[in-house]
Structure 1
């Protein structure tokens, strides 16, 4: 039987695009992000979701809790495997600061053979996310699951499903409060929709 996985990127925090939040503590949704998460929850009310899983980051938990509240579901299950990339010493840097770093430029050119300083590679991220999702899919035949995570984590999963190399990551967007849907089963997996953004 098929399992439907609705992969949700967290709603926007107040300074999205201003700095690399990474795994910094205390990066939570501001008023605009909370409103966005509430709208997302209302939209997902009709999606017949059975359970919600979430990255441990505050912005993901808040988004997942908004969905759970709107859908009348128990609190989300927190999974370390769904966490943001470990950006190491880059976390908290502004993008202007990062642009001056040659390693940052290389990271954004060839992620297949690059690692963040003191952190992870994109392949590490893909492997840990799949390590969580594969048994989740195997044990939830016929169910619909929401998974709230981060743009690059969702991209890593999509690239695996589509058979794309990890360096294909800039070829598509995963926007804040968007839903990307995958169907999976013993037969494999396929992408049903990509980056469906809440209005």
Structure 2
């Protein structure tokens, strides 16, 4: 038997792309993000999802709640393994400020050998999300599970499924409110869709 996983990136918060939200508190969906979450919930209704798991961040919980409400599922279950990368001292800083930090530039050039200041490595992130997926796969045969999380967490999971090095993260995009699907069975894992977008990106 197989388990189907829908890895959902949360809908957009205000000023997405201008600062590193990380694990900073109080970052919720903006008006555009709420519209994305509603459209995403309608999209996920077609998938007959059995349960929804979410990162503890506000923006992911709001996105997950939109899915469960429309599909009349139980409330999303919070899973710390789906949390955003622990960016430590970088959380909440603008990208303009971060670009002046040599450690930030190293993080974005060779993540396999870099650690965020006071935080974690991408290999740490990959380890925790893979641990969650493997645990869910072993006890949910035949089920379809949505995991609402963050871009880098999804990239870490996809890299694992495809056997890519963790430094392959810039080679593919994970957009806000996008869906990436893979299936796990006794035979292994297979990626079915990547970065399926509900909305086309705007310039």
TM-score > 0.5, shorter chain as reference:
yes
Aligned to 1:31: 31
| Mapping for residues 1-199 of structure 1, pairs under 5 Å | 1-199=1-199
Deviation at residue 31 of structure 1 after TM alignment: 1.1
The root-mean-square deviation of aligned C-alpha atoms, in Å, is 0.5
Measured against aligned partners, the alpha-carbon deviations of 1:116-175 in whole angstroms (never above 9, x if no partner) come to: 000000000000111111010111111100000000000000000000000000000000
Tell me, which stretches of 5 or more residues in structure 1 are unaligned? Answer: none
How far residue 185 of structure 1 moved from its aligned partner, in angstroms, is 1.3
Rounded to whole Å, the distance in 2 between the matches of 1:178 and 1:43 is: 10
Q: CA deviation at 1:15?
A: 1.2
Helix, strand or coil at the partner of 1:84: coil
User: TM-score with structure 1 length normalisation?
Assistant: 0.99
- In the alignment, the residues of structure 2 paired with residue 5 and residue 90 of structure 1 have an alpha-carbon distance, to the nearest angstrom, of 30
Distance 1:179 1:193 in 2: 8
Distance 2:43 2:131 in 1: 29
CA–CA distance in 2 between the matches of 1:151 and 1:13?
A: 13
2:45, 2:131 → 1: CA distance?
28
Give the structure-2-normalised TM-score: 0.97
CA shift for structure 1 position 186: 1.6
- Distance (Å, rounded) in 2 between the aligned partners of 1:20 and 1:38: 24
